[in-house]
A and B are shown apart, each in its own frame.
Chain A
């Protein structure tokens, strides 16, 4: 029954900083148990969307529900059910890591000490170290521990891996996030905004690409991989002059032709085959390539 209620439901969300519109008529739906990616360039409106979700910003119009609850009316109820990692992590400089985690635990009904210890060990963090002396990456690590330990139903991550070294980044994405969702399969949702799309490739179930505050593309990850394909063809002599409908972009390099197709890959492939290419191959695009292709087109 709980699964019927979306973890996040955003309808026609708009927000403007003065006259500058940051988010325009955004719609998205995150179901429980899913990992939802919000992709976009700098200033696309990702952080503004997340802040509206957390009731840090009051939308100019539109509606937001988190597990069916309006964050503007039941702020605390919503925040009890989610954990947030901001893009810029700041802690009280006088507190140690231990004190910071204790401080944050005091606001939660549930706090998994076992996971906390495991993660402290995995990240090689000294609990007695002062927050003032932590590096940017270490601060992010503490913030991630603080987000995972309350075992909330929703994890909201705003550029969570920025500042992390590649090893910790990979470990975090593969192990921590994976373990978080496996802790309560089908129940825990993740809403993540990131530039490092390739690193979340295997985790993302669904995504929205934003540009200038507008949703450019919303798709299931598998559907996207199915729909967006890269077709490479090598011809013996000169390239045929064919106009391809449904091609997002095409690029030539000598005798090589590369086409990015949006849903019409089989038609394009058939037409190319008719031109007798020396080589013809088709492959799915990665989410990062889809992101680039969508924004470039």
Chain B
């Protein structure tokens, strides 16, 4: 190998794995898997890959060639070599372009398939060009890949929102004129060339000051921080926990800057009417971009605190201080989560609330906004990013690991659920055996506690999430306090415990849910069969001056309507006391969580008769049926509550 090819190989090698992951993600996003139902599936994550790739991952890839030099502290070594800086810049730029170009085409194609190659597609293309061109300048100012991405994105982001407004107004007036597209093209190319040349100039004149990364750029930014905040952030000789919190707040300084950008972005979105009262267009590119910014903030809030410490080499030293690693870990995680929720969700929320207040209806802007989804997303992304920063060294690596980890978690959940469904389907013999033993009337309380009062599965989900959180947090603390092992497959090995836990939890959840659901279904089936029989018996007795209260046995019910083997088994030796109710009587309120109602038919060809019935089984359980219907109606509501 020639010296030049060795240098080129080094540039290519450091980009290869992120590039390969991106390519894999791009191809995955091309898969179109049609689905019939509206429930969540990990397949839905595929739709997030193109916007993530276009707006975050590709700009990050472009920032890596130079960002890695800062990350690994090799910039001094690189610039100390007897090579012309122009040559280094050219080599890095060429490698960046060669890496970014195919990935950009792949992602834009994928993005275009979703957005049908309309204006949004062009917006994504413009973003990639501008962010890639500005990567060198941004990275040099921030002295890190993530900081560079944030800086170049924020600089171009403001221009992008203004340009989106112009594009929107063009679209409202009909088709976008070719003159507008041409003007956009010229401006974007002009911007890209200018910012690239600026980056080149900065690189040629770059001075390596002593000390870690990003301090010059960030020191400039901290000049605008109020004095009281600077005073509060200063460490004191007493108050160790407060000092730890102060340290975390300062480690998250990039997040605070991004929060400021988020504030400006959301203010612009409201000012330029991208977001209107009762209209929150999540899929509009400027809004999606602002949402992505929130997700980036959540990601950095999780990855930065430990990632930066590991990069700077302060983490090991911190662990030698006379304060438990548990306390240090707890403070770090708590501050990260609070900052994430405050900046990723709190900032947009406050802008929308204030904007709503200005128009007299504080909640008008957030009426349609999926707030709970934002909160959950921010929470999950921060947790996963924090976990990743415990596993790998450095912020950039942690941020990059976050994407496959999120996808793997989704996939593991789906795999566990699928295995649970398959297990229930393929063990019919055991399931039937269990059903033959379990009294569906007596199991009502258990079924309700599993399924939840309204079928929301909240109790079971809480157990599932709790188990996964416990495993993830315990593992992250173990990794936090342990020495990082730079061995091959260490990171991949660390992924298995949470994934295995999730698969197991989802498997158990799916089996328990399906089992409980079938148990409830059996109870409902028995009740409905009994109802049809009661309706038939009541109707036949209607003209014969029927008694208000009647008592039936299983044999009586069998005369009224067909009963299945299960119903005959569980109702044998039971007494069914039926009390006729006045037609059209409004039912008393339902007794949740034990009672629920469903539409039920009257006897075939007859008008429905309202009644209430109590089934006393020989095993001591009691099940109340209530059926109420409008006069002359052939259907009504049947409710049941078993105890």
Which A residues are within 8 Å of any B CB, using their own CB?
17-18, 51, 54, 56-58, 75-76, 79-80, 84, 86, 88-95, 99-100, 102-108, 111, 130-135
Contacts and interface: CB of A to CB of B under 8 A. Distances in A.
Contacts of A84: 317, 320
Nearest to A18: B487
Given A56-B483, A94-B215, A108 B322 contact: yes
A17 B313 contact: no
A58 B236 contact: no
Contacts of A58: 482
B234 A99 contact: yes
B350 interface: no
A132 B321 contact: no
Interface of B: 209-212, 215, 218, 222, 234-240, 243, 247, 250-251, 253, 312-314, 316-317, 319-325, 482-483, 485, 487
Contacts of A105: 237-238
9 tightest CB-CB pairs across the interface, nearest first?
Answer: A132-B211, A103-B235, A90-B313, A79-B322, A80-B322, A105-B237, A84-B320, A106-B240, A93-B212
Contact of A106 (B212, B238, B317, B483): B238
B185 to A, nearest CB: 42
A130 B235 contact: no
Contacts of B322: 76, 79-80, 107-108
A103 B245 CA distance: 11
A247 B234 CA distance: 61
Contact of B320 (A79, A99, A133): A79
Q: Which residue, B237, B482, B487, has most C-beta atoms of chain A within 10 A? A: B237
Given A75-B324, A94-B250, 9 more contacts: A17-B487, A58-B482, A79-B320, A79-B321, A90-B317, A94-B215, A102-B235, A106-B239, A107-B321
Contacts of A130: 211, 215
B210 A103 contact: no
27 contacts: A17-B485, A56-B483, A79-B320, A79-B322, A86-B316, A90-B313, A90-B317, A92-B247, A94-B253, A99-B234, A102-B234, A103-B235, A103-B243, A103-B247, A105-B237, A106-B235, A106-B236, A106-B237, A106-B238, A106-B243, A107-B240, A107-B243, A107-B323, A108-B322, A111-B237, A130-B215, A132-B212
A139 to B, nearest CB: 10
A89 to B, nearest CB: 7
Given A133-B211, A135-B210, A99 B485 contact: no
A237 B360 CA distance: 113
Most buried by A among B234, B250, B322: B322
A89 B211 CA distance: 12
B250 A91 contact: no
Nearest to A78: B322
Contacts of B243: 103, 106-107
B333 to A, nearest CB: 19
A289 B483 CA distance: 35
A89 B319 CA distance: 13
A92 B210 contact: no
A132 B215 contact: yes
Contacts of B240: 106-107
A110 to B, nearest CB: 11
A70 to B, nearest CB: 14
Contacts of B209: 133
Contacts of A108: 322
A79 B212 CA distance: 28
A57 B212 contact: no
B323 A76 contact: yes
A209 to B, nearest CB: 25
- A58, A93, A135 — most chain B CB neighbours (10 Å): A93
Interface hub of A54, A90, A104 (most chain B Cβ within 10 A): A90
Nearest to B210: A133
B211 to A, nearest CB: 3
A54 B320 CA distance: 6
A88 B313 contact: yes
A292 to B, nearest CB: 31
Contacts of B211: 93, 130-134
Given A57-B483, A107-B322, A132-B211, A92 B314 contact: yes
A273 to B, nearest CB: 54
A64 B293 CA distance: 49
